[in-house]
Structure 1
Amino acid sequence: MAIIKFMWCEIIKQILADMRQPLQYVPWALVIVVLGLVVTIVLSEKKDGKKASVRFFRILFAIYILVVIQITFFSREPGSRNGCMNLDLFSTWGYSVVTHAFFIENILMTVPFGILAPLCFHRLRPMWKCVVLGGVCSVLTELSQYVTKRGYCEVDDMLTNTIGVLCGCILLWLIELIIKQRRKK
């Protein structure tokens, strides 16, 4: 039991260390979000703020997509991954703390997609539509990494990214359920 606890502590430490690079974008993202919020309030067509909130979530979603593109493509040199493809399911889980962390990070990376996409686009409200779109985006990302040789094309990444989208959708559903329950009281 102590070994498992130690391993999870090490995995969490590794995930936090790996998150340092994407967190560098937070100050710029905050500036853009504040500017976007001001613009959405000024341009809002409705007084109830519903239109402004959709615009705000779309700005957040755009920032999220830009950060994902930066992480998955532009943080690597072209040709640095030699166009490898790995079609073995669960092979990236590996045997080390680092490989376990990468596996979990692929899930965490797409949770915001599952939250923001349905908030931005009403057609993605049915959970299955959002998860399918997230899966398609993951497949396209992996194939693009293979073609550009800026990453490994791995079936595990496609699966974990899609699971992350599903987790985001479930989290959004739970948040909305809690909000509805509190409004009833």
Structure 2
Amino acid sequence: MSWNLHTRCTAFVDGQRVAAGELRHVAIKAKQAVDARAEARLLVFDDRDGSQIELDLRGNMSDLMQRLSGDAPITPPQDETPIRRGRGRPRLGVTAREVTLLPRHWQWLNAQPGGASVALRKLVEDARRRNAESDRARGCQEAAYRFMHAMAGDLPGFEDATRALFAQDVAALEQHMVGWPDDIREHALMLAADALHH
């Protein structure tokens, strides 16, 4: 997932939360914390999906802000190959990809008003609407898992906590996280909240 200066994220230094909020503010706090402790281990997580955000904290604060804002010079890759335009309607965001179906599926799709493409788009939109809540819950579980794996993978109860997370068992999850540092436990529960109260 792409990020920008307004991406909501949380930074941890040696397992302790040092900042939460927009990336532009979190990066400043993270640099201050790392500069204060030379051997500190910094991890920054995107609050949307639990993925890690790599921050380049070299140099001074001005250097950091230039890199974050995109003002720093960017060296283009040496082996840049031209992008080949495929089928589809790129201006509308439509791209052609291969779909493998049985002959009876193609027959049914081709018999639909508008043809196979229109029918497939309608089917996908219907499924997205129908499954929106369960998709959101699964996304929260995956975000919490990514964070837990990075921050608590070596902590006691991690595997049991993971099973409880995917079983949506709030009581068991909290029980297996009892010995974890408060900041890690609270952030994992925050990421998983929608899935746990689904």
Q: Given the two structures, how large is their TM-score scaled by the length of structure 2?
A: 0.30
Bigger share in helix: 1
Larger Rg: 2
Q: Normalized against structure 1, the TM-score is what? A: 0.31
* The structure with more strand, counted as a fraction of residues: 2
